Amino acid sequence: MDIQVPTVVLDGTVLSILSKEDTYGYVITKTVQEHLNISESTMYPVLRRLKKNNYLTNYDEPFEGRIRRYYHITDEGVARLAEIRTAWSDFDKSVNALLEGE
């Protein structure tokens, strides 16, 4: 069975990918899909929300006669990522303690 990926975790994974380098939609989806079971329609709402909250910006670059939209993490985004990482590690510890603990 699958556990639904919480919104905040999705936000964190995308920000983490972008913290390494600017990249575009397909790569973001693929990278997350390597680890989590998400559909190809998942990322758009996530990216949209992150942009609305000023955690990322985007710019277009031409590619083979069309446009590729690159996403770039902002300083707010970096701060947000740190926040999510801390929150996740706390959550992870608590759940482990409950699920695996004696």
CA 44 to chain centre: 11
Shortest distance, position 30 Cβ to other proteins, whole Å: 8
Q: Residue 14, interface with other proteins (CB under 8 A)?
A: no
55 Cβ contact list (under 8 Å, min separation 6): 11, 15, 73, 74, 76, 77, 80
Q: Residue 48, interface with other proteins (CB under 8 A)?
A: yes
Of 19-27, 74-82, 85-93, 94-102, the segment contacting other proteins by CB under 8 A is 19-27
Shortest distance, position 92 Cβ to other proteins, whole Å: 21
